Structures are given as C-alpha cells and as structure tokens.
Chains A and B, each alone.
Chain A
Amino acid sequence: MAELITFICKRTVVSTKPVQAGKTYPLSVLDRHMEENHLRMVLYYPSTGVPTKPGEITTKLRESLAVTLTNYPIITGRLQKNDEEQWMIKCNDAGLRMIEAKARGSLEEWLRNVDREKELMLVYWEEMYHKPYFWSTFYVQLTEFEDGGLAIGLSCTHLLADQTCATMFIKAWADTTVFSKMMHPPFFYPLPSQRPGNGKLNQTPYTALINHYKTSISKSIDIVDAKHTTVTLVFSDDMVRACIAMAQPIDGTDKSSPTPFEALSGLFWVCISKVKGMRNGLVDMSIRMDMRKVLGLDKGFFGNCMVYNKVHLEGFQEDNLSQAASSIGEVVAKMDREGIMDLIEWLVCKDDRSRSLMNSCDLICASLEGVDPFSIIFEDVIVPIRVSCYVEPVSALGQVLILPAKPGDGELSRVVMVTLPRDEAIKMCEHDLILRLSPTILMDVNKP
C-alpha cells in the first residue's frame, strides 16, 4: 500500500486556563467496567471551497481545541489508582495528544476506496502504558487531504467516555471554533446511585440484567485475533420502513411496531446467526443502549452511560425476523429506570476488582442513535459527509453499531456498521433478508 497518509507530527495540546491543583475525578461503576475497550470515531468534512495553506486549518482547530479543553479537565488529566485501587483521574492539565497528518488525493476519492484498515489509519491510538501516569487518554488526529477535505479522528479509552459524550466533546469543540462558546457545556457528576426512600428494596429486582453482568465478569475469554473487517450499510427511510414491516409481530396482537433499532438489530441478529452456521437458534447477543434519558440525565452528562443486556430466544423459526425483533423489544422495555438503578446499586456493592469483559463475549449490537454527529459543524455550514464509529477490541463474535444517518435522508434512515470476520461479512452481505432491503454499501469489505 503506497504511502497514502503521511504522519507530520505528534504534540500535546493543553487547555488555555490551568486547573486548580489537586483536583481529582472519580470514575463511576459503569466507567470501570469498560476498561478493556477504547472507542474511535472519524468525521469527514469536505473542503469549504476557499483555498487554504496546508496546515492552516489544523492550526486554527488546535487553538480552539485548547480553549475547549478548559471545560474538560477530565480529558486533560491522567489515570491514577486511588486508595481503593480503583481508577480515578488526576486533573493535572497534562493535555491530550494531537496528531497531524496529511493524505494524498481528495476526500471523495478516499471515501470511494476506504475500508476498515485504511479508516483506522485516520485515528491514532496508543494502548495504555504499563504505568499510565504519562499516558494520554484521548487522541485527536487531523488529516488534511491535499486536494481538499479534512478528516477528524478521535480515539479515547472507554474508561472515561462513551460515544455520546465523545460526540458532545467534538461538538463543543466545533461550537468553540465557530461561535467561541459552547452550546451544551458538559456536566460532570456521578451516576445516580442512591434512590430516595433508601432502605426499601425493590420488590422485583430486574435480576436478568444483573445476572448478565455477573456472568460476563466471571467469564474468562480467549480473545481470538480473527481478521475482522467492517462493512458500512446505509438503510434509507423506505428501507427501514420495509424492515419494520417485516418485523411486525405476525400474530397481529396490538403490540406496537418495532422501533428502527429493534427491527434492524433483529435483522442482523438473524443474518449473522445464519452466517455463523447456527441452525436452530440465534447466536448469543447483547444489546447496548444509552441510558441517559432513562435515568433522567442531561445529554451533557460526561461518562459512560451505556448498559448491556442479553437477548435470548427460545424456539426460533428460521428467518423469522418478527420473533427476533419482539424479543429484543421485550428486553429494551425491561431496561427501565428501576432495572438500571438495581444494576448500579449491585455493581457498587459488589465492588469487584476483576477485569470485566463486557464487550467481548457475545455479538454486540449497540444503539448509537442518540449520538448526533451530523450536528457537529466546524465551518459555516460545512456538515460532515460521513461519520464512522468503532469500538475496539471487537468481540470475537462480532459487532453491530447502529448510527443515525445524515439529516435529510429521512427520520428513520440509519447507518449500520457491522464488524465480523472477513468471510462471514461477505456472506452476510449476500443474505436474503439483506438483499431484499438492498441497502447502499458505503464501506465494503477490504480487498485482500
């Protein structure tokens, strides 16, 4: 592969106003369970049409990033273990790392030929050092395309942030660049942990959720280093409607229609299970959803707020999408405030030091619909033309991320990024159900 991307330099960016010395920030129970993972995002911006000198945009963005970081002391801090051997952040203005790179050709050409391997080159990442005191938790890469266009890559450890707040951070950065102020400042406060009327136990605790976490924690997984590839499919408004129609409960009960997430995740559950060779049943799957609304937290809440839950199905009929969708729907409904609070309380009491592998056991299907990346506007009206998300390392069974599509494509349209071992990915794209809906393929399986 010829040198498409040239690395220019790596530097540290700090905030413009220093933080008070000695400030620390604890991590919540949900944060600590995500230690093994990191997330990566890429946003592509077309050129504004105004010719700029190479490096000019990068310098401007770097300066506004420094201003933005004033409100995010947690990002510029460093990980340390507190007295109870739990991770916490020491806010010491150490800064985040910024990588500057340039790419040959134009943005459009890149997007036509991109695949997982190439796209991951746009997002720099360093694994945690043995002693993380000097290890940056956030990395931002700015890649300027020689013929116009910009790719912004953000990677961070999942210990600190999930996709929602990572996106809000980039949005704050964009707002600072354009308007010099943030529209949605972040909120750093702990998860709700103690319910009012403390002492009164919940009558029917949602044990299934807790059990799922229990089993995941105690499981030991051999991470199989299969060669994964990622395929990005765009489902337009009509396609999603068709999918929902397919996923309607057959017995005509007055259950409400499945949501786009339930329909699409059911679809992929079925297809991927088939591709993996499961005859009479579906592969183990966990869904992952943002619980901010459920817990009544503001969108600016900074920290992990995504919760996993297992979906299972008894007596599955082949290609029965509605069965899959409805069982997903049942699980989603059960993830209400009570259930999540039970989980949080259980996790707090358990206080286990063992590493958990939440993202590694089953096929993961995450709903990132709450993430709103297309509202991140850096320059006038330049909207990102594509957004990609990754959660690494990928579970051995694979991963499905459901993201919103560009506004203007319709309210129900979605972008789905599926990460599977290479041969399974190819087979999945040729599955009947998928072909019936015929989504657009944005990013194809990488050519060997």
Chain B
Amino acid sequence: MCISPTTNGGVQSRRPLDFLQTVNLKYVKLGYHYLITHLLTLCLVPLVAVIVIEASLVNPDDIHQLWLQLQCNLVAVIFFCAMVVFGSTVNVMTRPRSVYLVDYSCYKAPSHLKVRYHRFMEHSKLIGDFDESSLEFQRKILERSGLGEETYVPEAMNYIPPRISMAAAREEAEQVIFGALDDLFANANVKPKDIGILVVNCSLFNPTPSLSAMVVNKYKLRGNIRSFNLGGMGCSAGVIAVDLAKDMLQINRNTYAVVVSTENITQNWYFGNKKSMLIPNCLFRVGGSAVLLSNKSMDRRRAKYKLVHVVRTHCGADDKAFRCVYQEQDDDGKTGVSLSKDLMAIAGGALKANITTLGPLVLPLSEQLLFFATLVAKKLFNAKVEPYIPDFKLAFDHFCIHAGGRAVIDELEKNLQLLPVHVEASRMTLHRFGNTSSSSIWYELAYIEAKGRMQKGNRVWQIAFGSGFKCNSAVWEVLQSVKASPHSPWEDCIDRYPVEAVA
C-alpha cells in the first residue's frame, strides 16, 4: 500500500545531532539567531559612534575647503549627480512590481452534497462495479484518510447509477467557479471589466471552449483580456497559476489578475478494481478558489498579502517521479489516476529540492550559516554529521501544506520539524473539505484567517505538490491584521475546530 500512516516514533534516526533536542541548546540557538539577525545593527553602532566623534571635530574651515574643492571639480560633480539620478531612475523602472493579493474566496458546496462514510460505501456498493476487496479497501482508506463526514461530492454521484456526462462535469465546474467568483467580486468590490489577466487551472477537465472562456462568457470580461487555461498540471497548478499571473502583472501595468483554481470530480471517479487507482475516489472532493491579484500601488492599503517569492521545482526529468501520479486506463479500459508506492519518497525528494532553492531566499542568515557550516564540515572534513535541516519556523509564521492526504501532512510535519499548530490548517482543511486539489492551500489560508492568527508582518508559506512530480512554493507577507472575509467557507464551523483526527 502506497499510503500508510506514519508515526513520529520512527523518526529518531533521521534527527540531526541528538543534543540539539535539549532545552538548553534551544536557547543557545535562539540567542545565536538573534545575534546574527541583528549583526548589521550591532556592527553599525561603533561605526556611527566613530562618525559622530569625527563630525564633532570638524570646524567651518574644513567645510569651506571642501566647498572649494567641489567647485573646481564641477564637471565631475555634475556627472556624478547625473549618474546617481540615472541609476535610481533605471532602478525604479526595472524593479519588479509588487503583486498584492487583494482578496480571495473559496467555494462551499450546498449541504445536500455532503457525503458521510455510510453513503459513500452504500453508493459504492450499489453501483455494482466494485468487487468485495475493492469495497473493503476503499472503506479502510476512507477511515484512515483524515477526511471527516462533511466533504462534498458532485451531484452526479448522488444518482444510482452515477450520471457521469460532460454536461454534468460542466455543471460542476460552473457551480464551483461561478460560486467562488461571485463571492470574490462581491467581497473585493471590483468590477469584472477591470480585470486584465485571467488564469484558470483545472487538471482533469479541459473542455473546448476552455474554462477560462467560460468565465469570460459568464462575467462579460473585456475583449483584450489576457486569459490562460492550465490543464493537466495537477495539484500544484494553483501556485503555477499565481506565478504566471505574477509574471503577466509585470508586463501589464495597473491592472487586476484573477486566478481560479479548481478540480473536477464528475468524470474522474474510478469504477474499476485496481487498488492503486481507487485511492483518489476516497480523497478528492469538490472545491475551488478564486484569487484577486493587483499591481496597482493604491491597492497596497486594502490588500491582505503581498507576494514575496514563488519557487517552482520540477522533478519530471526522473522517470520514477514522472510516473508517480499517472492517469491511465486499467486492463478493463476504465480510466483512473494511479498513485505509485514511491509517492512519499518522491514527495520528500521534491520538497528537499524546493527548499534548497527557497532556503537562501527566506531563511535568516543564522540558519544559512549553520547549514553552510554543516555542509562544509561534511564535504571538506568528511565529518559524520547529518545534513542540517534549517528551521523554517524561524522564517515563517504560518504554513499551508497542500492537503494531499494524511500521510503527506505527517511526512512534512516530520521532515520540516513543524509543530502541530503549524500543520493544523492543513489537517483541518483535509477533515472538512477533503483534498480539493489546487485550491486546498487557499482553504487553509482561510482557516488561519478565521482563527484570527494572521498578524501584520507575518509570513506565510504555501507548499503544493502535484503530478509531474512538482513541488511549488509561494511566500506571502501579511500586510495588515487580516480578518476572514464574508462568506468564508469556515464561517459556520470554525468554532468546532480543531478536531482530533481518528487514529
């Protein structure tokens, strides 16, 4: 079985340098971290002192001498000033524009689409396509999945037998996308005609005309809109879409970009008996999000977040990683997405590749020095030390790990040495909404907001894994203490969370 719940028990061997765990050293490490962070300030203090002493020794004669010297070298002075002005203009013009997240919304389906465990098993049994061992397998996966009993399946699955059709898939897409966009436009108070860039991503459903064309049609967006539709890019496509929107916002000034992330369950339920392809039935659920990005400087005041970094890592060059999440037909011709047994290992590898690039961008100097020191020690002196895993808790205040499944969250919690509160948003999103694919990171962000934990200056790290195999990260900075927007998907149930997951 490729997904098995991991416990923190078997972790000891991977922990670097056991003595770091002791409390005393924790405080030493913290002290070291503060020292390095404020090193520049500490060094500046003596420098400032020297300058002040020197300035106090200056008398009017010296200043007069300085003025005469400048007058003689007028050309040089003017040239120098011109260079400074020119340099600063070029700097201002070519600086990357800040991308602000004005608002976002996540779709919540109507309550009659909630599927409890019993109904999932009942419908699976009555469909008649699954044999006894497949039913039992799905039941076990469902129980250990971390999903609660309020996740949503599309309308087509309410029928016996399920009414799978392209029309039903379109209907699901319409309900989710339009539901999210209606809320977004209402909350952000933006007119559809002001949107200049539209990116829609949906991995498994790509009709013609595209879903982005469907959005343009419904909201009567303007004729010169830059629209994109990303298909087949898996659960990490949400971050890819944000990256694309960010790039487009560099070349198109003073405009809004809308990023819609969703998945489509209707035509992608697997009705066969191959175990590796049954798992998505138990995990994937209906959900979608819509995000409004802006490069207008006036939006800085009302925006919630600012996009700081996007780091994309693709492991597709490796054959095993490429085949790890693979959509194919089984021996009976039934289509499904098969997950390989190496999924966790490959995910771990992709994560390592991603944080190797991300680390230097976001980690404080103290952590980078430690990492560098252990790397040097290992390479040059062949010392038997474990590679140092930087403490990302010092770089980020909130983590939104794609809710791919309980095993993924457990694995990351262990690898990044996170505390339960850091992965709470991911676990609770998995419990309440299931795996909504590319939009799950937005549900998690909404959870943290609804809990009132977003403070100004906080940094958020969104990590998404997806087929390919890809690991993509987005880093946001909180611009103001954020409250949950109206019609948040957690509005009516946040008080019930966090819940204890069933072991």
If the complex has contacts A17-B111, A66-B112, are A12 and B119 also in contact, measured as CB distance less than 8 A? Answer: yes
B334 within 8 A of A: no
Q: Are B116 and A13 in contact (CB under 8 A)?
A: no
CB contact between A14 and one of B112, B159, B163 (< 8 Å): that residue? B112
CB contacts (< 8 Å) of A93 on chain B: these are 116, 118-119
CB contacts (< 8 Å) of A384 on chain B: these are none
User: Which positions 112-156 of chain A face chain B at CB distance < 8 Å?
Assistant: 133-134
A16 within 8 A of B: yes
Contact-size category for A: 20 to 34
User: Which positions 4-58 of chain A face chain B at CB distance < 8 Å?
Assistant: 9-14, 16-18, 21
Q: Are B119 and A11 in contact (CB under 8 A)?
A: no
Q: Are B116 and A12 in contact (CB under 8 A)?
A: no
A33 to B446, CA, bound (A): 53
CB contacts (< 8 Å) of B125 on chain A: these are 134
A97 within 8 A of B: yes
B160 within 8 A of A: yes
B459 within 8 A of A: no
B114 within 8 A of A: yes
Closest chain A residue, CB of each to CB of B159: A11
Q: Are A95 and B159 in contact (CB under 8 A)?
A: no
Q: Are A97 and B160 in contact (CB under 8 A)?
A: yes
A16 to B111, CA, bound (A): 6
Q: Are B160 and A13 in contact (CB under 8 A)?
A: no
B491 to chain A minimum Cβ distance, whole angstroms, is: 16
A94 within 8 A of B: yes
Contact with A along B99-143 (1 / 0, CB 8 A): 000000000000110101011011101100000000000000000
What does DSSP make chain B's interface, helix, strand, loop or mixed? Answer: helix
B225 to chain A minimum Cβ distance, whole angstroms, is: 34
Q: Are B122 and A134 in contact (CB under 8 A)?
A: yes
B109 to chain A minimum Cβ distance, whole angstroms, is: 12
CB contact between B112 and one of A13, A92, A97 (< 8 Å): that residue? A13
Q: Are B160 and A16 in contact (CB under 8 A)?
A: no
Q: Are A18 and B114 in contact (CB under 8 A)?
A: yes
B158 within 8 A of A: yes
Contact with A along B140-163 (1 / 0, CB 8 A): 000000000110000000111001
Q: Are B118 and A78 in contact (CB under 8 A)?
A: yes
Contact with A along B151-188 (1 / 0, CB 8 A): 00000001110010000000000000000000000000
CB contacts (< 8 Å) of B118 on chain A: these are 78, 92-94
Closest chain B residue, CB of each to CB of A14: B112
Q: Are B123 and A12 in contact (CB under 8 A)?
A: yes
B419 to chain A minimum Cβ distance, whole angstroms, is: 29
Q: Are B111 and A94 in contact (CB under 8 A)?
A: no
CB contact between A94 and one of B119, B150, B158 (< 8 Å): that residue? B119
A95 to B112, CA, bound (A): 10
Closest chain A residue, CB of each to CB of B118: A92
Closest chain A residue, CB of each to CB of B160: A10
B112 to chain A minimum Cβ distance, whole angstroms, is: 5
User: Which positions 59-99 of chain A face chain B at CB distance < 8 Å?
Assistant: 63, 66, 78, 92-95, 97
Q: Are B122 and A11 in contact (CB under 8 A)?
A: no
B84 to chain A minimum Cβ distance, whole angstroms, is: 68
Q: Are B149 and A12 in contact (CB under 8 A)?
A: no
Closest chain A residue, CB of each to CB of B114: A18
Q: Are B149 and A21 in contact (CB under 8 A)?
A: yes
B278 to chain A minimum Cβ distance, whole angstroms, is: 19
B416 to chain A minimum Cβ distance, whole angstroms, is: 34
| 6 further interface pairs, Cβ-Cβ under 8 Å (given A9-B163, A21-B149, A133-B122) | A13-B112, A13-B158, A14-B114, A93-B118, A94-B118, A97-B160
Q: Could you pull out 23 A-B pairs where Cβ atoms are within 8 angstroms? A: A9-B159, A10-B159, A10-B160, A11-B158, A11-B160, A12-B119, A12-B160, A13-B112, A13-B158, A14-B119, A18-B114, A18-B150, A21-B149, A92-B116, A93-B119, A94-B116, A94-B118, A94-B119, A95-B119, A133-B122, A134-B121, A134-B122, A134-B125
